Amino acid sequence: GVLSGELCGLRQLHTFKTIGGGADNRTKRTGMRAAMRLNRRRRRLRLPRIQLYTDGECRILREADACRSDSGQKIFVRTGETGVGEKLAPFGYEQRVNDRLFWVFQQRMDGRVNFSRNWSEYENGFGNRVEFWSGLKSLRSLAPSSRRDVTLRIEMTTLDGERFVGEWYGFTIGEVFVGYAMNYKDYLRDRSNISDDALFDSVGMPFSTYDRDSDRNIGSCSKKFGSSGFWFSNCAMFSPNGLYSSVEMRSPAYASCKFVTPKRPYSTLREIRMMVQL
């Protein structure tokens, strides 16, 4: 799965990176130095502080919930205010891709969370620890229009197991009075295996939901795509928040979580996560 066994869920909200492996004392010193560097960056981005755990501590905490580390070199733990519920935010976690650190703001894996939501819910965030949307307010704090160096990364797996990755440089989110309009500078083809730019149609578009339609279509793209929210233009190419399905959706043709692939006009997605580089 897209998580690659790197989550240690503790029935709480924020997920942070820790360093594991080796003797606990040496590990903790290494992790503390990394934590201090990350916390300085996180303060600038107005993100919560990271909470450091070693592998041994994580094993003790395992009694609270499932906890594992496939590699023994890095684990993730959820920390912060105790509690579970879709009314609590933010949702998301940090994910390292090679030597780069990302914040995952959207994830879908099993269809347990309903993404047919109104404007307020997409603005403030919803979900659980497996499937979630962090919220437009949270996303804008990471990729404001004043920043021009943010990279967006999208990872997708279709129902038949094909994996696709796309990256976009210069990703920004506008203020609320422009509907959190999305823009980017370049589609990074050298870091992607998708031939066509799936977000090209969404450049400059405000965010739309079924109760706040800002797309260019005569009707409502949100309603065509399962009452989901996205930066819709003319209802084409990409629908990451549509209805979840474990089989290819035939009717309605555009309602499910889909995107255009080389093999077929629209492929239903089994897993997807969207993230921005910190």
pLDDT in tens, 184-196: 999 999 999 987 8
pTM for the predicted model, two decimal places: 0.69
8 A C-beta contact, residue 208 and residue 214: yes
Model confidence band, residue 73 (pLDDT cutoffs 50, 70, 90): very low
Question: Using CA atoms, how far apart are residues 10 and 14, in angstroms rounded to an integer?
Answer: 10
DSSP-derived 3-state class of residue 250: coil
Mean pLDDT of 113-142: 92
Q: Could you tell me the residue ranges of all domains in the chain?
A: 1-84, 91-277
- For 204-261, the pLDDT digits (tens) are 999 999 999 999 988 898 988 889 999 999 886 788 998 888 777 665 555 566 665 5
User: For residue 237, which phi and psi values (nearest 5 degrees)?
Assistant: 75, -55
Measured CA angle at 274 (ends 167, 54), to 5 deg: 110
pLDDT at 195 (0 to 100) = 78
Strand partners, 8: 67, 77
The count of residues in the chain is 278
The larger pLDDT score, comparing residue 130 to residue 80, is at 130
Mean pLDDT estimate for the chain: 73
Percent of the chain with pLDDT over 90: 35
Q: What is the CATH number of domain 91-277?
A: 3.90.215.10
With a cut of 80, say whether residue 42 has pLDDT above it. no
- Better-predicted residue by pLDDT, 85 or 164: 164
Q: What's the Cα-to-Cα distance from 80 to each of 16, 249, 255, rounded to whole Å? A: 10, 38, 36
CB atoms within 10 A of CB 84: 10
- Residue 121 sits at φ, ψ, to 5 deg, of -70, -40
Cα distance between residue 78 and residue 92, in whole Å: 10
pLDDT of residue 13: 27
